[in-house]
Structure 1
Amino acid sequence: MAFESLTRDNIVDFLADIFARRGGESYMGEPVSMSEHMLQTAALAERAGAPNSLVAASLLHDIGHYTSEFPEESLEQGQDNYHETAGADVLTTFFPKSVHEPIKLHVAAKRYLCATKPEYFNRLSPASVNSLNVQGGPMSAGEAAAFEAHEYYRDALRLRVWDDEGKIAGAPTPTFDHYRPLLTGLLVGAER
């Protein structure tokens, strides 16, 4: 399905299809597949009692790996694929800022945490260290101050921590369908 044909009525099915068709692909040298990683990240957010919008952001934070024009392996080959922006751009029409803004900021959150919490860097997987270098490395003081001025920076930091923790081979998670009602309820214009 082309992005131009996406509507409020079919976006959740489109996302479910991505998880079903492409979610089993490897996740850049991590011990989990892309769907396992995104589902683990959402499950961690849910267990932490995060608001529905942040659970949705956690579930969809890496969807841009499938919506970007850059090849899937570009990060591994030293080219930033800007998946955070690509994913947020597709979701912006359908979901509130509280969903797409933490997604757009989750790479910046890694750069911020590496700049402001030296112990954080030591927790990163080798694949995450590689992508950090491709994505600009730790932030400068000026970049960190600009990041802190963003309305959703705290949500992005929470998402980032779950993102880093959601890489455990074989960890049980709910399926995408578990999150379908949550996503449907967050659609812009959805009955509240």
Structure 2
Amino acid sequence: MAANSVDELMDLLHACRGVRDFPGGGADSVDLHEHALQTAALLRRRHPADKELQIAGLVHDLGHLLLPGDDVGHAGRAADAVRPLLGHRVARLVQLHVPAKRYLAAMEPWHTLPEHSARTLLRQGGPMTRAEAEAFALDPMAEDAVRLRRADEEGRAVGLDAGILDDWRPVLESVAAGHHHVGARSLY
């Protein structure tokens, strides 16, 4: 399912209320809606000029809504859903947020993953091999994918007020319009 308009994407993001990305998520965890808001807010604070990175943080886990329980394929599913509306860079960052976790697990073995991320790491391929990590580091979007991943891990604080989804509508509209404008230019 692709989000073909900002309204459709906003509906999907609103539908994330009460949905958890891992079984057993209870009162001590945030739902996908809060997680999206917190991740995007962290990226806005750290990278205020990079609207596409912020929006990637907002939409990165939509795959958990689209096919619950798909820890392995959720990033690709979310990327496919947002690519037509938000463009290649946002979709690619969303797609890379799982490989970025595997990369960090290999490059920073002292780094403690949150419990839910540690549980899914092995299903997602485990820490990268040296060759995989070297190849990942060569990707032009690797650094931004790691930035997204770090915000993803931190964006799960119970009770943190990260604003409301409607605050993100103008940013979504701007990114979508920018993608549409670039896409229209490439037709000529």
Q: State TM-score, norm by structure 1.
A: 0.85
- Whether contact under 8 Å (1:102, 1:155) holds in the other structure is yes
Aligned to 2:101: 110
Structure richer in helix, relative to its length: 2
- Whether contact under 8 Å (1:62, 1:84) holds in the other structure is yes
* Amino acid corresponding to residue 9 of structure 2 in structure 1: L
C-alpha displacement of 1:190: 4.4
C-alpha displacement of 1:66: 2.2
Give me the whole-angstrom Cα distance separating, in 2, the residues matched to 1:27 and 1:101.
20
C-alpha displacement of 1:95: 1.6
Name the % identity.
35
Q: Does 1:176 align with 2:175?
A: no
C-alpha displacement of 1:73: 2.9
Aligned to 1:73: 69
User: RMSD of aligned C-alpha atoms?
Assistant: 1.7
Q: Does 1:13 align with 2:4?
A: no
- Whether contact under 8 Å (1:184, 1:190) holds in the other structure is no
* Amino acid corresponding to residue 122 of structure 2 in structure 1: N
* Amino acid corresponding to residue 39 of structure 2 in structure 1: T
Give me the whole-angstrom Cα distance separating, in 2, the residues matched to 1:179 and 1:190.
20
SS at match of 2:85: coil
Aligned to 1:85: 76
Give me the whole-angstrom Cα distance separating, in 1, the residues matched to 2:15 and 2:150.
27
- Whether contact under 8 Å (2:19, 2:65) holds in the other structure is no
Deviations, residues 6-46 of structure 1 (Å, cap 9, x unaligned): 53xxx211121122233221232361011011110000001
C-alpha displacement of 1:99: 1.1
C-alpha displacement of 1:133: 1.1
Give the unaligned 5+ runs of structure 1: none
- Whether contact under 8 Å (1:24, 1:33) holds in the other structure is yes
1:32 equivalent among 24, 30, 33: 30
2:155 equivalent among 162, 166, 182: 166
Deviations, residues 126-182 of structure 1 (Å, cap 9, x unaligned): 211111111010000111111112121110000000000001001001211111111
C-alpha displacement of 1:74: 4.4
SS at match of 2:136: helix
Q: Does 1:140 align with 2:129?
A: yes
Give the unaligned 5+ runs of structure 2: 183-188
- Whether contact under 8 Å (1:112, 1:144) holds in the other structure is yes
CA separation of 1:65/1:27 partners in 2, compared to 1, >3 Å: closer, same or farther?
Answer: closer
C-alpha displacement of 1:115: 0.2
SS at match of 1:88: helix
2:119 equivalent among 118, 130, 141: 130
Q: How many pairs does the alignment contain?
A: 175
Deviation larger for 161-170 or 96-105: 96-105
